[in-house]
């Protein structure tokens, strides 16, 4: 595994993801939420922009944000923990506050992840047996 191979800081990558999302958001956006699942070959994401009045709209995900997700997944790999499976980023435009949350242990929402994706995840981003969540171990059989 090549965790951290790009030499960039995870904070810089998160700022790049945030900048790509802000640039793609419609005018008048007050709050942005981006959620990405990355497990093995499975990639799912969604981008929502919310106005100050609370109206939400789905927005196409910019390629630069997806590229950042791939880089961030590698940078945050830890041989004792693996890496995250799901990323949730909220950006408040008024405060400029970027709030990322990383899920390393719970199965991401949506369609159940196939066994092959979980096996690939553990090949690419190994974890010791003690760091493999029960749901992953059960799916692998």
**83-125: pLDDT as tens digits:** 999 999 999 988 889 999 999 999 999 999 999 999 999 999 9
pTM for the model stands at: 0.89
Which superfamily, per CATH, for 10-140?
BH3703-like domains (3.30.500.20)
What does the alpha-carbon distance between residue 112 and residue 26 come to, in Å, rounded to a whole number? 32
**14-34: pLDDT as tens digits:** 999 999 999 999 999 999 999
């Amino acid at each position: 595994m090549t965790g951290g191979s790009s030499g960039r800081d995870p904070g810089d990558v998160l700022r790049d993801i945030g900048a790509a999302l802000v640039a793609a958001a419609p005018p008048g956006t007050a709050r942005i939420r981006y959620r990405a699942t990355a497990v093995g070959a499975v990639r799912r994401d969604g981008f929502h922009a919310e106005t100050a009045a609370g109206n939400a709209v789905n927005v196409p995900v910019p390629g630069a944000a997806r590229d950042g997700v791939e880089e961030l997944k590698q940078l945050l790999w830890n041989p004792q923990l693996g890496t995250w499976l799901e990323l949730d980023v909220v950006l408040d435009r008024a405060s400029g506050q970027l709030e990322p949350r990383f899920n390393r242990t719970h199965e991401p929402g949506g369609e159940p992840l196939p066994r092959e994706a979980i096996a690939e995840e553990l090949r690419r981003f190994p974890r010791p047996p003690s760091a493999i969540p029960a749901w992953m171990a059960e799916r692998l059989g």
